[in-house]
Structure 1
């Protein structure tokens, strides 16, 4: 079926049209949602949220935005009863702009999940001053109030996901076992989110549903499979091409990189891996000229795949607890060796990039198709290049192999992570029914 997309007029943030009731309807264009998501990503980077936590911050506002817009579109179905423990959002008590209510629910929830609340408040105030021009104030306020009501409903649901409880759990215990993960230089940070497996999944049945095969057993005998995997990382790293270096840097997505010069240490903040894929959602939506409902669909489905991807991956990371290449190579092969990328502070297996990138790619492919080419400029603001991809799967495969080029993963973590992510992504896509195909307003 051919998809008919509403052309987004970039010069206009909103339009006002008359309803049968005489109340002015506020129709918000997709670019407003993209800009608001960008603002949330900007704050996530500023507040230095870890990749798993960032995925949670993206998911709840995106789901709320989708739920509000779907309530006013017969072509879409609620995720209530489809996502774990999510119940249906309330109906509005009076006539409202669903577009504005969806925006408000997104902003309200996003603000509740970050640290820099004042930054989001200032953004909202400036945006609403513009959106409110020429709109009946009672209607505007009623729409915002409905957004607040939906936000309260979603935040109550979020309160049951074990996030707050895991904030009080003990830190990860590091042992002297030579096969197990050890903190790595230069920061020697403690393990990030060792209890993320306790977080309630969104769509998958459990954190262990997509447990991959076991990693290769640690064995530094020169004839062992593990030793060969270690040497593959080492030899790749010392023979990198310029293209491979660019690929590794492009997909680094480390939210907190420590730069050391002599005795001086300075941090560089970057977007998280999930944030990179949220940026790709925006790129795809703009290319396809999606309307607000379609835009909300893309963000909701992708954010759920990302969030569940992190839960699944982190479950395996702290189950297998495998040592990183940097630690092994420095101890047994070359004490001066450094990976191109800074090693992230958590166990090696499986590769987070491989899992979440492929889960997100499957979700996006289900919406935009197999051969959706795009130019990814997500990392341009961080001084990196722009890269072109023939499809979402193409991008996800490059994201996965970038971890070998970066010197931070053995190949089994990458290959099995790709499999893990695609299985999870396909499960999410098959389970969640967002479109009512018989009534969809966007297909013919």
Structure 2
């Protein structure tokens, strides 16, 4: 019997519908529709909750974040004197621009574009359309002319982004063969307990990149050669996982290492077996955690609507390309997870602190994504940006404090060792791989018009 135990974040969107639509420049007949950055945060939060409900894998979740943000960015910055269009900067993105007029509310158009694209990417469309329609009703009553003009502008961009999105090879990868398991090769990935799930997204490297030249542009150097000889580099890394996790378990459930591992777990679907029952705990992905940090930084700096959309867009593009880069290496190296080897050759009773996710080991996805996202946020908000990470509060985990985005990324990466799910090379070289993704983005994408 399968039952679901899901914890939902208390979202702001219902309150925002009632409280955060403010009036300005009142006339006798209609009122100006004012859109705040809090409303954008609320809409991103609402999409995140739907993604948790629908259970999307980390790579797919990154795709769901990136396209709505790009649509919002383009609708918002049509004719902007500060922000530059991403048209002809991202791969195969060529947009026709909207003829902006004074009757159009760009912030409103941006939010409409976001929701229109987002609904095409999720299973539970009704959860988003219901949210959207409630907002539409409020906006239409405030100023029907402004709403209609803004809606035209928003849909002008969303329709083009959807068309571009639908040509990124995602649909084709849905029909490609499952990952081939080579059962006679001890170095190759095998399904792991408790669910022994098939490897997810083995063809993600075929998804069109956003700014990378190719999925393999930042192919990391090879991991240590597989060997179970005691003096080999690979065996040393395997023993590090085993000994570190044994030491952590001896310290007990309250150890700092376990706190770090659980805080950065970000496994969207954890199976827990109790007798004949299997429970599923659903939560956010690694990309969602960094999107949450982006929100924290925006709110902490009181970023206006324009900077907020810019931050989400830039961060989500980095995360999306990071997943493509990482998954390209995962299924090239196809490396076995520590759990498989430890149970077979060292200790059949050993269990990792975290549940091993269902895909090959090298490189570490969270490390690559954290490297890219942390560099992106540092570029936007500056180094030594101190913040309290409250992202995991809805899942019963306490706040963690960080002195910078880079320090948060380092902790996220090493959490995979503490969790018993990655070797050292996947962690360290994964961070570098993600940092290289950011460097490429920083060279290739210009967000600001020259003065």
TM-score range, shorter chain: over 0.9
Tell me the residue number matched to 1:329. Answer: 342
For residues 102-143 of structure 1, the C-alpha deviation after alignment (integer angstroms, 9 at most, x for no partner) is: 1011001001100000000111122333344432x1321221
Tell me the residue number matched to 2:7. Answer: none
2: distance between equivalents of 1:213 and 1:260?
Answer: 38
Matches within 5 A, 1:325-404: 325-404=338-417
Tell me the residue number matched to 2:320. Answer: 307
2:64 is the counterpart of 1:57: yes
2: distance between equivalents of 1:261 and 1:19?
Answer: 60
1:26 CA drift (Å): 2.6
1: distance between equivalents of 2:297 and 2:421?
Answer: 29
1: distance between equivalents of 2:439 and 2:39?
Answer: 30
2:274 is the counterpart of 1:261: yes
1:280 CA drift (Å): 0.6
Match of 2:122 among 114, 131, 136: 114
2: distance between equivalents of 1:99 and 1:227?
Answer: 55
2: distance between equivalents of 1:134 and 1:305?
Answer: 37
Matches within 5 A, 1:94-173: 95-135=103-143, 137-173=144-180
Tell me the residue number matched to 1:5. Answer: none
2:236 is the counterpart of 1:228: yes
For residues 400-433 of structure 1, the C-alpha deviation after alignment (integer angstroms, 9 at most, x for no partner) is: 0000000000000000001111111122123211
Q: Secondary structure at the match of 2:335?
A: coil
For residues 215-240 of structure 1, the C-alpha deviation after alignment (integer angstroms, 9 at most, x for no partner) is: 11111111111111101000100111
2:82 is the counterpart of 1:69: no
2: distance between equivalents of 1:10 and 1:124?
Answer: 10
Maintained 8 Å contact 2:79/2:100: no
2:229 is the counterpart of 1:214: no
Maintained 8 Å contact 1:54/1:274: yes
Tell me the residue number matched to 2:206. Answer: 198
Tell me the residue number matched to 1:242. Answer: 255
1:372 CA drift (Å): 0.9
2:181 is the counterpart of 1:181: no
2:433 is the counterpart of 1:420: yes
Maintained 8 Å contact 1:72/1:98: no
Maintained 8 Å contact 1:67/1:89: no
Maintained 8 Å contact 2:75/2:153: no
2: distance between equivalents of 1:433 and 1:25?
Answer: 32
2: distance between equivalents of 1:393 and 1:403?
Answer: 16
Maintained 8 Å contact 2:33/2:142: no
Maintained 8 Å contact 2:30/2:142: no
2: distance between equivalents of 1:283 and 1:133?
Answer: 32
2: distance between equivalents of 1:24 and 1:435?
Answer: 32
1:93 CA drift (Å): 6.8
2:297 is the counterpart of 1:289: no
1: distance between equivalents of 2:132 and 2:373?
Answer: 28
2: distance between equivalents of 1:70 and 1:134?
Answer: 23
Tell me the residue number matched to 1:316. Answer: 329
2: distance between equivalents of 1:387 and 1:436?
Answer: 37
Segment of structure 1 superposing worse, 140-149 or 334-343: 140-149
For structure 2, the residue ranges without an aligned partner over 5 or more in a row are 1-15, 249-253
What is the aligned residue count? Answer: 428
Maintained 8 Å contact 2:54/2:123: yes
Could you tell me the TM-score, scaled by structure 2's length? 0.92
| RMSD between aligned residues | 1.9
